[in-house]
Copies of this chain bind each other. A is one copy, B any other.
C-alpha cells in the first residue's frame, strides 16, 4: 500500500496529513508556520511533523515517496514561489529545492488554489471532467482552472479572476486595484456589503441582531439569516450573487467549461449562492456557455488543503 503526504502551508498555520492512496486522511496535525524564523526552520519542523505523524500510525519515512506542498502565491514549474508574500521569504524562493534537501524526498510544490483544484479533479467533484473551474471563496476568491485535466499556471499567477474589476468606483482591494470582484465576493466583501446596506436600511433580523455592533457581523451570519428569509439579508446575498455571476459568467465566456465547482469556506452556503448566481448568469454569460455548464459543491471542503496538496503526488 502506498501512502500520500499533503502539506498545506499557510501564512499562520500549516496543516500536515498522511493519507491512503485513495486520498483519505489517516492522520493530520496543524502547526504554527512561524515564517519569521525563516524557511529552513519552518520546513524542518514540517518534516519533523511528517515523521512524527508517520510514527503515530506505525509507518516510517521509507513508506512515503513524494511530498505534496501547497503554498499561497504564484508558483512556477512546481518549484519556485515567485512572490512569497505571506512569508517574507523573498521573491523567487525555491521551495522545492529546500524541502528536498531537508527531506531527501521528491517534493511537488504548487499554488494552494491549484492544489485544491487538482484534488477536486482527482478525488472530488471534478472527477471525470476534462475542463473544470474550481472557485474557492473564503477570505478571498480565486480560481483553479483545469484544461484537459491539467491546472493552468501561466507564468505562475494564473487564476486570479478575483481581481477582475467589477466596479471601478468600488472599494480598494488588498491587491492595490480598486473595485475588484474580491472586494464583494469574499467573506470580508459580503460583510462590507452588509455594513453599507444596513446603514441605509436599518431593519430586519440581521440588523436587530447586530445594531449595537455592526463590526461583529461575519459572513455566516448573513447567509444564515438569508436562509431564514430575513429580507435585508436576502438583498445583501443577492448583490453578492450578482457580482459572483459577473465573475463566473466571464469565466464561462472565456473557458466554456463542463463544470464549475464552488469551494472554500463560503461554499457551505452553496445552495443559496448557486441559486442567486443562476438567476443573474443570463446577464453575464453567453447562452451556449450557460447551457453547457454544470455546477457542483466542493467534495473536499475543509480537507481540501491537505487533500489537494497530497493529490499533487498522484499521477
Q: Could you tell me which A residues sit within 8 Å of B by CB distance?
A: 74, 82-83, 131, 143, 145, 147-148, 150, 152-161, 163-165, 168, 175-178, 246, 249-251, 253-258, 283-289, 292
Interchain CB contact under 8 A, A158 and B254: yes
Number of identical monomers bound together in the oligomeric complex: 2
Knowing A147-B152, A250-B164 touch, does A289 contact B157 (C-beta < 8 A)? yes
Known: A157-B253, A160-B253. 18 other contacts (CB 8 A): A147-B147, A154-B255, A154-B258, A154-B289, A155-B258, A156-B256, A157-B286, A157-B288, A158-B256, A163-B253, A164-B249, A164-B250, A165-B250, A175-B286, A176-B287, A177-B286, A178-B283, A254-B254
Interchain CB contact under 8 A, A256 and B74: yes
30 contacting pairs across A/B (C-beta < 8 A): A74-B256, A131-B155, A143-B254, A145-B254, A147-B147, A152-B255, A153-B256, A154-B255, A154-B256, A154-B289, A155-B257, A156-B256, A156-B288, A157-B288, A158-B256, A159-B254, A160-B254, A160-B286, A161-B250, A163-B286, A164-B250, A164-B254, A164-B284, A165-B283, A176-B287, A177-B286, A178-B283, A250-B250, A251-B254, A254-B254
Cα A103 to Cα B208 with chains together (Å): 74
Q: Which B residues lie within 8 Å of A288 (CB)?
A: 74, 82-83, 156-157
Q: Which 4 A-B pairs have the closest CB atoms?
A: A154-B256, A157-B256, A160-B253, A158-B256
